[in-house]
Amino acid sequence: MLRSDGRAPGELRPCSIEPHFLRHALGSALIRTGNTRVLCSANVEFKLPPWIESGGWITAEYAMLPGATSPRGRRDPGGRGKEIERLIGRSLRAAIDLERLVGPDGGLAITCDCDVIDADGGTRTAAITGAWVALSIALRKLRTSGRLIHDPIRESLAAVSVGIVESAAGTIPMLDLCYEEDAAAEVDLNVVRLASGGFVEVQGTAEGQAFSRSQLDALLDLADQGIDVLSRAQAVALQGAW
């Protein structure tokens, strides 16, 4: 059974990650997943939030440009945008040893900005996947310049959406939903996972009827397959960054 864009149910949209997309950012990457495009950048500050007593900190900001959707959106991220910012920040921190995010003069604070320039579903998961590449580039530059003493990276992480969607062949699990599928999905999950297999976050919602444990397992299996592919794309992008 093929989907509206010709993909099989367990197939990702075409994905590419272009590192060093911005000249002035410490680390940056443009990620494309189908028609969704997110520009991710990472920059450092040498002043920590007041509640941090040791180590460093990583946070994120997320925005959808007005022209990324039709009709035109608003620049104010609103409640949804703030929730996505927190998700991105939590995800990135899970892959970093914050106690090692320290330079010669103390802890470092890194902000990852994720700006959606074209939206067709999966913007938050694409933002996480792209932000990891931008963050990795920034951390390597800090290490090379001597502004970061130790490598704080535990392992890489990526994210993907999965869902249960009604189709001509019945209700089936699908990987990497575009907007049309996401809007029609009976169940929608966003899955964030480390390269080693540990889940950082699973956000799941049933839009109508509840879903079963077996359906959840099938969705997580699909997410595993997709994240494995995305992790390889991240590795290729980082290899080409140097």
What is the per-residue pLDDT across 28-61, written as a single tens digit (0 to 9) for each?
Answer: 999 999 999 999 999 999 889 999 999 999 999 9
Taking residues 63-86, report their average pLDDT.
81
d(CA 207, CA 186): 5
Q: Which tokens is 106 given? A: 């103390």
Q: With contact defined as beta carbons under 8 Å apart, do 62 and 124 qualify?
A: yes
What is the per-residue pLDDT across 159-197, written as a single tens digit (0 to 9) for each?
Answer: 999 999 977 667 899 999 999 999 888 999 999 999 999
Average pLDDT, the chain: 93
What is the per-residue pLDDT across 120-160, written as a single tens digit (0 to 9) for each?
Answer: 999 999 999 999 999 999 999 999 999 999 999 999 999 99
Q: CA angle, corner 206, sides to 201 and 212, nearest 5?
A: 85
Task: Give residue limits of the domains in the chain.
Answer: 15-154+227-239
Topology of the domain comprising 15-154+227-239 = Ribosomal Protein S5; domain 2 (3.30.230)
- For residue 47, which of 109, 135, 110, 111 has the smallest C-alpha distance? 109
